[in-house]
C-alpha cells in the first residue's frame, strides 16, 4: 500500500499540487491498512451474527442461555472493537502522510453537490439503524446480566452452591438482583463495579473458597426484603416441628414442637410484640460486631420510641472491639434470616428426614450411623461421590451384617444410597470447599456452640449498667418446649 503514500523526494514547490488528496480520496484509501481491513472484517462478521442472534433471541428461536452470552456480550464487543480500529487506521495513516508533507485538507460538505447530499443522507440513515440495533442490544444485554441464570450459572463452579440452594428455597422465583442489588442507579453501579472485580477473580482464580458470608456490603433489608415483606405484618404464632431419631432408635422419632411467637403489630392491642419486635418502626436495635461473621457481639444499643436508649455490654471490657473490626450495624431481617434463600440443609436433619419419610429404610439396622459415615466422607470431587456413595453404603452394611444380608436387601440399600447421594449433591461442593455446616443460620439456637443465632445477645451476660440483661427464658420466644 506504500504506493498511496506521497514520496518525500518531492520538492515543496511542485509537490504542493500533486500532494493534495481530496477528502473522498483520503477516506477511500485510508482504511485499507492491515489494521483497518481487520477492523472492517471483524465488524461485518460480528454485526451479521449479532443481527441473526438478536433475531433468534427476540423471536424465541434461540433459547440457549449460553448462546445469549455470545450474542449479547461477545458479538457487540467484537463489533465495537472492529469499529474502533477503523478510525485508528485512518488516524495512523494520515499522520504518516502529514509527516511526509502532505498538506492538510479539511472536510467541506457542500450541499449543492449531489454526491455530498447523498453521502450525508446515507451516513444519517446508517447511523440511525446502527443506534437502533445498539440500543436493542444494550437493552437485551442489560436484562441478561440481571438474570438469575447469568448470576447463578455463568460462573458455574463458583456460584453452583448458592444457585442450587436458592432453587429449592421459598425465594426460588425472586431474582438474585432483588436481594443483592435492589432498585436505584447507585446500587446498580456499585454492583456492576464489584461484578467486574468478581469476573476478574473468576478468570484469574483468586476468588475465596468458600465464598465468605455475610456478603460484606449487602444492601440494607429495608431496601430489599421490605420491597415484598411488610415488617408490621402480624404473624402471630407459628408452630414448627423438629423430628429427630437416634442411632439406637431408628424407628420411633422424638418429635419436638415449638410454637414460635413471631408477632408483629397486634391488630387488637396495637402493640408490636414477639420476635419481630426488633424490626418494628418504633425501635432501633444496633450492635457492634467484633468479627467478620458477626458471631461475637460487643455492645448492643436499643433506642425506644421516646428517645430513651439502653446500652448493653459484657462487664469486664471483654466486649472491647479489636481495631478495625468493631463495626456498628443496625439490626434488620438479615441478622436473623441470614439464609433466607441459600438454605443449606443440616446433616442430621436431612438423614432423619430420610428415615422419617422411609426414603432411607429404617428397618436396616445401623443404617443411620452408616449414613452419617457415608455423607461425612471427603470425596475429592462431586463426580467421585456420584460413583461411590451408593457402593460405599452397601459396603458398610455388608461389613456390619455380612454379604448375604447386603445381597438380600440390595434394592432397599440402593434406594437409600440414592437418597444420600441426592442429599450430598444438594449440599457439598469440594471444589468450593462447601460442605455440611459451612454456612450456618442465625434464626434459632441450634448452632449456638459456634456463636450463631439468638443467644449471641440473649445470653444473660450482656447487661446494662443497671444490671438488666437480655432474657434467655424459653417462653420469651416460643411456648415452653416439653
Q: Is 477 in the site for ligand HEC (CB under 6 A)?
A: yes
224 binds ligand HEC (CB under 6 A): yes
Examine residue 154 and tell whether it contacts ligand HEC (CB under 6 A).
no
Which of 42/432 has CB closer to ligand HEC?
432
Where is 54: in which H helix or E strand?
helix 34-59
What is the footprint of ligand HEC within residues 238-267 (CB under 6 A)? Answer: 238, 240, 242, 256, 258, 260-262
Nearer to ligand HEC, 222 or 401 (CB): 222
- Whole-number Cα distances in Å, 126 to 53, 122, 129: 20, 6, 5
Joined grid coordinates for residue 229: 415483606
Q: How far apart are CA 177 and CA 30, in angstroms?
A: 46
Stretch that binds ligand HEC, among 13-21, 159-167, 320-328, 408-416 (CB under 6 A): 159-167
CA atoms of 48 and 220, how far apart (whole Å): 44
Beta-bridge partners for 313: 463
Q: Among residues 287 and 436, whose Cβ is nearest to ligand HEC? A: 287
Using the minimum distance from each CB to ligand HEC, give the nearer residue, 285 or 355.
285
Does the footprint of ligand HEC cover residue 96 (CB under 6 A)?
no
Q: Which lies closer to ligand HEC via its Cβ, residue 364 or residue 432?
A: 432
Q: Can residue 181 be called a binding residue for ligand HEC (CB under 6 A)?
A: no
Grid coordinates belonging to 351: 438423614
Q: How many CA atoms lie within 13 A of 263 on its CB side?
A: 19
Instruction: Single out the residue of 303, 398, 445, 464 in contact with ligand HEC (rule: CB under 6 A).
Output: 445
Spell out, one character per residue from 296 to 335, where the chain touches ligand HEC: x when CB under 6 A holds, - when not: -x--x-x----------------------------xxxxx
CA distance 463 to 299: 9
Question: What number of chain residues touch ligand HEC (CB under 6 A)?
Answer: 77
Q: Is 470 in the site for ligand HEC (CB under 6 A)?
A: yes
Q: Which stretch binds ligand HEC (CB under 6 A): 69-77, 271-279, 390-398, 418-426?
A: 271-279
Q: How far apart are the C-alpha atoms of 8 and 3, rounded to whole Å?
A: 12
3 state DSSP class of 143: helix
Please state the closest distance from residue 179 (CB atom) to ligand HEC, in A.
3
Calculated CA dihedral for residues 288, 294, 296, 301, nearest 10 degrees: 30
Provide, rounded to whole angstroms, the least separation between the CB of residue 191 and ligand HEC.
12
Say whether 208 sits in a helix, a strand or coil: coil
Is the distance from CB of 416 to CB of 396 less than 8 angstroms?
no
Cα gap 79→82, rounded to integer Å: 5
What is the C-alpha to C-alpha distance for residues 311 and 170, in angstroms, rounded to an integer?
36
Q: Interaction with ligand HEC in 362-391: which residues (CB under 6 A)?
A: none
Cβ of residue 308: shortest distance to ligand HEC, in angstroms? 10
**Least separation, in Å, of the C-beta of 426 and ligand HEC?**
14
Closer to ligand HEC at the Cβ: 115 or 449? 449
Q: What angle do CA 404, 409, 413 make, to 5 degrees?
A: 120
Amino acid at each position: 500500500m506504500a504506493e498511496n503514500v506521497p514520496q518525500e523526494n518531492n520538492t515543496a514547490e511542485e509537490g504542493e499540487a500533486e500532494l493534495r488528496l481530496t477528502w473522498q480520496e483520503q477516506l477511500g484509501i485510508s482504511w485499507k491498512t492491515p489494521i483497518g481491513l481487520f477492523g472492517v472484517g471483524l465488524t461485518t462478521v460480528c454485526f451479521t451474527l449479532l443481527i441473526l442472534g438478536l433475531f433468534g433471541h427476540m423471536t424465541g428461536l434461540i433459547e440457549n442461555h449460553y448462546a445469549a452470552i455470545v450474542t449479547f456480550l461477545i458479538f457487540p464487543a467484537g463489533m465495537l472493537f472492529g469499529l474502533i480500529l477503523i478510525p485508528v487506521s485512518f488516524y495512523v495513516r494520515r499522520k504518516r502522510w502529514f509527516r511526509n508533507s502532505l498538506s492538510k485538507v479539511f472536510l467541506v460538505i457542500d450541499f449543492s453537490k449531489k454526491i455530498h447530499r447523498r453521502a450525508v443522507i446515507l451516513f444519517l440513515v446508517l447511523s440511525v439503524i446502527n443506534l437502533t440495533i445498539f440500543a436493542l442490544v444494550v437493552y437485551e444485554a442489560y436484562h441478561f446480566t440481571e438474570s438469575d441464570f447469568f448470576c447463578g450459572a455463568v460462573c458455574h463452579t463458583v456460584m453452583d452452591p448458592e444457585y442450587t440452594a436458592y432453587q429449592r428455597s421459598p425465594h426460588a422465583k425472586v431474582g438474585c438482583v432483588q436481594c443483592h442489588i435492589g432498585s436505584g442507579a447507585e446500587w446498580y453501579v456499585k454492583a456492576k463495579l464489584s461484578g467486574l472485580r468478581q469476573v476478574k477473580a473468576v478468570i484469574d482464580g483468586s476468588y475465596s473458597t468458600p465464598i465468605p458470608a455475610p456478603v460484606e456490603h449487602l444492601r440494607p433489608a429495608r431496601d430489599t426484603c421490605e420491597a415484598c415483606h411488610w415488617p408490621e405484618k402480624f404473624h402471630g404464632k407459628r408452630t414448627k416441628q423438629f423430628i429427630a431419631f437416634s442411632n439406637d432408635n431408628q424407628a420411633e422419632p422424638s418429635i419436638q414442637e415449638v410454637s414460635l411467637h413471631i408477632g408483629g403489630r397486634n391488630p387488637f392491642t396495637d402493640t408490636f410484640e414477639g420476635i419481630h419486635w426488633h424490626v418494628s418502626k418504633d425501635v432501633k436495635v444496633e450492635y457492634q460486631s467484633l468479627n467478620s461473621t458477626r458471631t461475637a457481639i460487643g455492645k448492643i444499643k436499643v433506642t425506644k420510641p421516646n428517645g430513651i436508649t439502653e446500652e448493653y455490654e459484657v462487664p469486664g471490657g471483654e466486649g472491647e472491639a479489636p481495631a478495625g473490626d468493631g463495626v456498628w450495624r443496625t439490626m434488620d431481617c438479615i441478622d436473623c434470616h441470614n439464609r433466607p434463600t441459600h438454605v443449606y440443609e443440616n446433616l442430621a436433619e436431612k438423614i432423619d428426614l430420610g428415615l422419617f419419610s422411609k426414603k432411607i429404610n429404617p428397618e436396616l439396622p445401623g443404617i443411620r450411623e452408616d449414613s452419617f459415615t457415608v455423607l461425612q466422607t471427603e470425596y475429592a470431587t462431586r463426580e467421585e461421590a456420584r460413583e461411590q456413595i451408593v457402593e460405599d453404603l452397601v459396603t458398610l452394611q455388608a461389613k456390619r451384617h455380612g454379604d448375604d444380608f447386603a445381597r438380600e436387601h440390595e434394592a432397599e440399600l440402593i434406594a437409600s444410597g440414592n437418597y444420600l447421594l441426592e442429599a450430598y449433591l444438594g449440599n457439598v461442593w469440594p471444589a468450593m470447599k462447601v460442605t455440611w455446616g459451612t454456612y450456618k443460620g442465625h434464626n434459632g439456637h441450634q448452632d449456638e456452640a459456634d456463636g450463631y443465632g439468638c443467644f449471641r445477645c440473649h445470653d444473660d451476660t450482656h447487661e446494662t449498667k443497671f444490671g438488666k440483661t437480655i432474657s434467655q427464658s424459653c417462653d420469651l420466644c416460643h411456648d415452653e418446649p416439653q
